[in-house]
Chains A and B, each alone.
Chain A
Amino acid sequence: MASGEDFESIVAQYYEPLYQFAFSLTRTEADACDLTQQTFYVWATKGHQLRDKTKVKTWLFTTLHRGFLESRRRQTRFPHFELSEVPLELPELPSRLVNQLDSRQVLQALSQVDEVYQAPVALFYLEDCSYKDVAEILNVPIGTVKSRMARGIAQLQKILISGSKGTPTNK
């Protein structure tokens, strides 16, 4: 990062989508704010090491996601599923029903999705990142990104359809 102006410009451009991504992961305003601030703190101290400035967005989302994982003190690695290995239940939730929901309900449903799928689903709906960038952010192969997105979306829709907090069936 070359200057304060650059920093302000990057904050202005990315703080909202970063916060929304953080909120979709944590579901609490305080935790999402902390994660977002922590991400920009890391950027302020280490961002100058990033040579390819076109990667700023990916760098920020990657940093935020790592911060989230560290905050959860995750000890286990998630298994990698390739899309072709996992039979899918394809979307069956009509868009008119989605239109009757609000953000809180959608995020509440997301919180019931298996944790490993939550970040991929949030990135699927929130951001326009390429699958390659999402793979970099989540630090998993592209095939794994797609399988997690597909399974997470299927879980989310089942939860919303059932209107319950039951365990998703598509596992």
Chain B
Amino acid sequence: MNREQAKEILALYRPGTADAEDPSFSEARGLCGQDPELNRWFEEHCAQYLAFRVRFKQVPVPAGLKEQILAERKIHTTPAWLRPAVLLTAVAVVAVMAGLFILWQRPREDLGFSSYVSRMAGIARRGYAMELETKDPAQVRAYLTRSQAPSDYVLPHALEQSTLAGCAVKDWQGAKVSMICFYSGRPLPPGETTDLWFFVIDHSSVQGAPVSSSPAVTSMDGATAASWTVGNKTYVLVAEGDEQFLRKYL
């Protein structure tokens, strides 16, 4: 780099600014230390720049301009809540809140044991499709095993003596429920073939399942249910009749 080239570069150097750290000026500035004439020229350039800068900076700013700008802003600025991004965000928040509110307001399903009993009694009484019709207890267990439903249940002795009609597999919150159907032998309304229903589920699959092996009896609108637990199985026997009738099969 010669002197004239250095001058061309340094002509754009602005003293007192970030140009002091700008590497594009480094070499030319370094040359000033070796060339007294260039150094004098550079010092004059800096003095001239600062003199010009003062003149440009001396331009008076009209009084009241700042206040005028601030006043204009109050007239024209789009309120923050009307800006598209803010509006979209607000709409999304309201939608989420509404969804949460609806979910919160919706009656929550009772997953407790009484709900389980009620549900199974409802299945038994309101109709169901028997998946296997047989009087052979071994076939019932085999079918339940194939269906991955509880099959290692223990029937009450009296129930075991009743007439087996068949079985089905039901569901409770993702857990398989074995439903074994019996006929007590008493006269039934036309179309009915069973009046005793025995439900088996793993004890851990129902919240609040009883821990006692002694049957607890509950009455439900013309039907009666007894429930108890033995080992890891919880049993419910639903009967179309009163407690006296039900107890004959426990």
Q: Considering only CB atoms, which chain B residue lies closest to A43 in the complex?
A: B73
Q: Given the interface contacts A23-B59, A128-B18, does A91 sit within 8 Å of B45 by beta carbon?
A: yes
User: Interface residue count for A (Cβ, 8 Å)?
Assistant: 48
In the complex, which of the residues A7, A41, A106 contacts B55, with contact meaning CB atoms closer than 8 Å? A106
A84 to chain B, nearest CB (A): 9
Q: Considering only CB atoms, which chain A residue lies closest to B44 in the complex?
A: A95
Q: Is the interface of B mostly helix, strand, loop or mixed?
A: helix
From B6-14, B139-147, B190-198, B227-235, the one touching the partner chain is B6-14
In the complex, which of the residues B11, B56, B78 contacts A45, with contact meaning CB atoms closer than 8 Å? B78
Contact yes or no, B72 A40, CB < 8 A: yes
**Residue-by-residue, is B1-42 near A (CB-CB < 8 Å gives 1, otherwise 0)?**
000000110011010011000100000000000000000000
Number of A-B contacts (CB under 8 A): 115
Between-chain CB contacts (< 8 Å), 6 pairs: A24-B59, A37-B68, A37-B69, A41-B73, A45-B77, A94-B44
Q: List B residues at the A interface (Cβ < 8 Å).
A: 7-8, 11-12, 14, 17-18, 22, 44-45, 47-53, 55-59, 61-62, 65-66, 68-70, 72-73, 76-78, 80, 83, 85
Q: List A residues at the B interface (Cβ < 8 Å).
A: 2-4, 7-8, 11-12, 15-16, 19-20, 23-24, 29, 33, 36-37, 40-41, 44-45, 48, 83, 88, 90-91, 93-95, 98-99, 101-103, 105-107, 122, 124-126, 128, 130-131, 146, 149-150, 153
